[in-house]
């Protein structure tokens, strides 16, 4: 395939440690870039400092440098390796900042910068340059001033007026930013922002709070051919960072005319910037007048790019890497169809929902309030035929011990000031009979999405009114399942056991069909398909010719369960392939390498819950399941898989239970004559108090079967113990609390 012949050796810059705002999406994009360049016989050199990622594996690139990500270190590697080019756009903000520093140092003389040229990076990252650039293009942006001191900031706010959005330049995920409604808030946020900024600059933006937010993932090659890979819509209005927002794709509330306007603007912008590869453009649209403003342009892959890639099956990082080499969209093949080129825009015949995963369960006293600064550690994606189904599947995927929407106490203040609980508080307000119009007025959420949640509320009411007779009404039961209700949720609403609902569904012959994500809405046959489950019609049978093994993933990135488990799952799938075993992978995290379409033979993008996993295993009938690589999430499913008569490979359930169950573990330690601290096991405050008094304060208290010390605390007296037990029972509903002597 034609490419720039003078490029033979490329340095790919990674993104370093997982941090809030820069998580596994860059492990995914960097890994894709390595794979993509090596396919074109380019020698790849990778520099990254993160040991938990698949990217720093020795097989990822021709040479891997595990080194600090500083311009000085990278400059030495460039000199030592004599590379022809660097690719910084796969390494998040870290990669872009290093490229700019290398340029200032003169370390890029004679070196090509692939993807986005340095000038382009500066044009979109430096707000003054960005404003000038957009003015030349005649594209509207919110009124904005870039300032380098508090004095300049006060002059800017006089011109713009309160409220204003303050954002530090050259930072990631809105770090150090905020919304200022008055002078006191403004001074505090500006001072903090100046400290946080890579170039000691903050941007004072005109507020577009409450406007709708849309994102377009655009691709361009050297011939100026452009396509829109995917467009997405935030359910949350402007004022909440897109990484903090619940997102659906494709867009739902834009008219065709408005969609074409944003689409044309996106293509005009990427062409003017001269980006070769992928680019993410964010727009704010006034809910009534439909006036739009360009909010931000990311001249690199982003978390949204990873989401768009998994939502469509079109690998933005892979195609971007080949375009960066000088190839054109029509020369790059679509790996999923093997027939169409990458110049075909993906078509989707389903809806995806993304919900962020926040770490607030780890931090006591945090209000969980959301704003322009990113706080989520990761996210889940769910695929369904309706928004209702996608949203309910996404909630199940979060691994927060919640099966669906649940009633949550709220006030009007809560509805207006979004927290991680807002989607549940909106549901609760609808459950209380509040009108869609009233809630929309308070939250600024488009009524379209509120009506979708109202549909779920109304169906729940119907289930409760009709009682267990719904289990014998095949038409109604099917409608309930099409709206994403799990058996467990239906059982909760009917005060039945989950097994009763499962049996009734089996008797009616209702089981999920697994449909393909194929980039082309079934216009061409998919050669590398991946699946999602839905209750649309009867499922196709899957052949049982080959030996096959299922691997369970780890779900969303969160504190205590990061990408180390994704690394394990990817290696498991690749090792099984080497042994000519068919691999089935089940996971729901759009940022990871494991959910890439070519890691396993079949990928199921599904919640990691008992029902969803067992349905996939029933459909596939594998020779065994590996649970030990998906962290606590997959370990917690071991008993259900064993009870369903499915073989667990590797460490058996009995051994897992021996370690997780404290009484069994004690027996093992006693047999081996190994000492352990005094402890008690309890499910009630009374028992916890007895145990604590018997052992003596202070004690260490924690739920069993949880991850990374979640909800673990040292308590010093009865009052603290009482407070703890109220919260801990919520975290571990089905497992006991351990009370240990604190050493």
Taking residues 711-718, report their average pLDDT: 90
Kindly give the residue spans of alpha helices, DSSP state H, lying in 495-646: 498-507, 564-578, 610-620, 631-635, 638-643
Radius of gyration of the chain (CA): 26
Q: How far is CA 515 from the centre of its chain?
A: 22
Q: Is the pLDDT of residue 369 over 80?
A: yes
Other CB atoms within 10 A of residue 549 CB = 23
Domain 9-114 is of which CATH architecture?
A: 3-Layer(aba) Sandwich (3.40)
| Structure confidence at residue 19 (pLDDT) | 84
| Structure confidence at residue 584 (pLDDT) | 96
| Structure confidence at residue 544 (pLDDT) | 59
Segment 242-245 long-range contacts (CB within 8 Å, at least 24 positions apart) = 242/213, 242/215, 242/282, 242/304, 243/21, 243/173, 243/174, 243/303, 243/356, 243/374, 243/376, 243/379, 244/356, 244/370, 244/371, 244/374, 244/375, 244/376, 245/213, 245/356
Taking residues 503-527, report their average pLDDT: 90
Domain with CATH 3.30.470.20 in the chain: 212-348
Tokens 């488009």 appear where? Answer: 446
Q: Is 199 helix (H, G, I), strand (E, B) or coil?
A: coil
| Structure confidence at residue 682 (pLDDT) | 87
Contact 307, 249 (CB under 8 A): yes
Using CA atoms, how far apart are residues 615 and 486, in angstroms rounded to an integer?
11
Q: Model pTM?
A: 0.90
Whether the bond into 18 is cis, omega within 30 of 0: no
Tokens 């937010």 appear where? Answer: 213
Q: Is the pLDDT of residue 504 over 80?
A: yes
Domain with CATH 3.40.50.20 in the chain: 9-114, 524-659
Domain with CATH 3.30.1490.20 in the chain: 143-206, 671-741
| Structure confidence at residue 675 (pLDDT) | 95
| Structure confidence at residue 720 (pLDDT) | 92
**671-741: in CATH 3.30.1490.20:** yes
Taking residues 193-216, report their average pLDDT: 89
Q: Is the pLDDT of residue 539 over 70?
A: no
The model's pLDDT over 425-460, given as tens digits with 9 standing for 90+, comes to: 999 999 999 999 999 999 999 999 999 999 999 999
430 versus 168: the higher-pLDDT residue is 430
| Structure confidence at residue 448 (pLDDT) | 98
Q: What percent of the chain has pLDDT over 90?
A: 72
At residue 716 the predicted structure's pLDDT band, cuts being 50, 70 and 90, is very high
At residue 735 the predicted structure's pLDDT band, cuts being 50, 70 and 90, is confident
711 versus 680: the higher-pLDDT residue is 680
At residue 169 the predicted structure's pLDDT band, cuts being 50, 70 and 90, is confident
Taking residues 143-164, report their average pLDDT: 90
The model's pLDDT over 458-500, given as tens digits with 9 standing for 90+, comes to: 999 999 999 999 999 999 999 999 999 999 999 999 999 999 9
Q: Phi, psi (5° rounding) for residue 198? A: -60, -30
The correct CATH number of 212-348 out of 1.20.1250.20, 3.40.50.620, 3.30.470.20, 3.50.50.60 is: 3.30.470.20
Q: 143-206 — its CATH code?
A: 3.30.1490.20
Q: Is the pLDDT of residue 538 over 50?
A: no
Q: How far is CA 76 from the centre of its chain?
A: 34
Taking residues 583-600, report their average pLDDT: 93
The mean of the pLDDT values for the chain is 91
The correct CATH number of 524-659 out of 3.40.50.150, 3.10.580.10, 3.40.50.20, 3.40.47.10 is: 3.40.50.20
Q: Is 18 helix (H, G, I), strand (E, B) or coil?
A: coil
At residue 730 the predicted structure's pLDDT band, cuts being 50, 70 and 90, is low
The model's pLDDT over 104-150, given as tens digits with 9 standing for 90+, comes to: 999 999 999 999 899 998 888 887 788 899 999 999 999 888 899 99
Q: Is the pLDDT of residue 536 over 90?
A: no
């Amino acid at each position: 395939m034609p490419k720039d012949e003078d490029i033979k050796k490329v340095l790919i810059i990674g993104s370093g440690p997982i941090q809030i705002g820069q998580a596994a999406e860059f492990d995914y994009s960097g890994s894709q870039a390595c794979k993509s360049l090596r396919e074109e016989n380019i020698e790849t050199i990778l520099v990254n400092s993160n040991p938990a990622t698949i990217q720093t594996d020795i097989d990822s690139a021709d040479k891997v440098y595990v080194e600090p990500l500083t311009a000085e270190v990278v400059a030495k590697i460039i000199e030592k390796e004599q590379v022809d080019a660097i690719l910084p756009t796969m390494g998040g903000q870290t990669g872009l900042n290093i490229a700019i520093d290398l340029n200032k140092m003169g370390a890029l003389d004679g070196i090509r910068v692939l993807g986005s040229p340095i000038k382009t990076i500066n044009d979109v990252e430096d707000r003054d340059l960005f404003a000038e650039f957009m003015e030349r293009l005649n594209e509207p942006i919110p009124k904005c001033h870039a300032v380098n001191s508090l004095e300049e900031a006060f002059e800017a706010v006089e011109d713009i007026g309160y409220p204003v959005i303050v954002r530090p330049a050259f930072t990631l995920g809105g770090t150090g930013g905020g919304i200022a409604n008055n002078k006191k808030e403004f001074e505090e946020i500006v001072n903090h922002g100046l400290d946080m900024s890579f170039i000691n600059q903050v941007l004072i933006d005109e507020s577009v709070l409450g406007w709708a937010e849309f994102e377009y993932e655009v691709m361009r090659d050297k011939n100026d051919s452009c396509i829109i890979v995917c467009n997405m819509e935030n359910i949350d209005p402007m004022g909440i960072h897109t990484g903090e927002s619940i997102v659906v794709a494709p867009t739902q509330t834009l008219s065709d005319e408005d969609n074409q306007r944003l689409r044309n603007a996106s293509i005009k912008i990427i062409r003017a910037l001269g980006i070769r590869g992928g680019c993410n453009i964010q727009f704010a649209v006034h809910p009534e007048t439909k006036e739009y403003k360009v909010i931000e342009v990311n001249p690199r892959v982003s978390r949204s790019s990873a989401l768009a890639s998994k939502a469509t099956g079109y690998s933005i990082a892979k195609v971007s890497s080949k375009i960066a080499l000088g190839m054109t969209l029509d020369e790059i093949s679509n790996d999923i169809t093997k027939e169409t080129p990458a110049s075909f825009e993906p078509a989707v015949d389903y809806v995806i929902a993304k919900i962020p995963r926040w770490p607030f369960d780890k931090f006591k006293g945090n209000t969980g309030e959301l704003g322009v600064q990113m706080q989520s550690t990761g996210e889940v994606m769910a695929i369904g035929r309706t928004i209702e189904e996608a949203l309910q599947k996404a909630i199940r995927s979060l691994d927060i011990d919640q099966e669906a929407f649940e009633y949550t106490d709220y006030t009007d203040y809560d509805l207006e000031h979004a927290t991680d609980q807002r989607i549940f508080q909106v549901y609760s307000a609808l459950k209380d009979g509040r009108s869609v119009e009233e809630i929309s007025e308070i939250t600024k959420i488009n009524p379209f999405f509120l009506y979708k949640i109202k549909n779920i509320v109304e169906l729940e009411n119907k289930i409760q009114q009709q009682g267990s007779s719904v289990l014998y009404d095949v038409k109604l039961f099917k409608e309930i399942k099409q709206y994403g209700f799990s058996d467990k949720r239906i059982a909760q609403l009917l005060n039945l056991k989950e097994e009763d609902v499962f049996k009734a569904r089996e008797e009616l012959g209702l089981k999920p069909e697994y449909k393909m994500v194929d980039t082309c809405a079934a216009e061409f046959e998919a050669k590398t398909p991946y699946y999602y489950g839905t209750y649309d019609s009867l499922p196709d049978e899957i052949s049982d010719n080959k030996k096959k093994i299922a691997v369970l993933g780890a779900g969303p990135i969160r504190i205590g369960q990061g990408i180390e488990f994704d690394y394990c799952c990817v290696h498991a799938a690749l090792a099984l392939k080497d042994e000519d075993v068919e691999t089935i992978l089940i996971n729901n995290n759009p940022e990871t390498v494991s959910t890439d379409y070519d890691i396993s033979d079949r990928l199921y993008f599904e919640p990691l819950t008992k029902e969803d996993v067992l349905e996939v295993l029933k459909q596939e009938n594998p020779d065994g399941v590996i649970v030990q690589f998906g962290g606590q999430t997959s370990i917690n499913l071991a008993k259900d898989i064993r009870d369903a008569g499915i073989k667990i490979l590797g460490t058996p359930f009995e051994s897992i239970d021996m370690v997780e169950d404290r009484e069994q573990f004690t027996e093992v330690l006693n047999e081996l004559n190994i000492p352990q601290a005094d402890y008690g096991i309890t499910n009630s405050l009374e028992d916890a108090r007895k145990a604590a008094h018997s052992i003596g304060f202070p004690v260490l208290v924690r739920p069993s079967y949880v991850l990374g010390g979640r909800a673990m605390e040292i308590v010093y007296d009865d009052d603290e113990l009482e407070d703890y037990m109220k919260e801990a029972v919520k975290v571990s509903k089905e497992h006991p609390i351990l009370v240990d002597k604190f050493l």
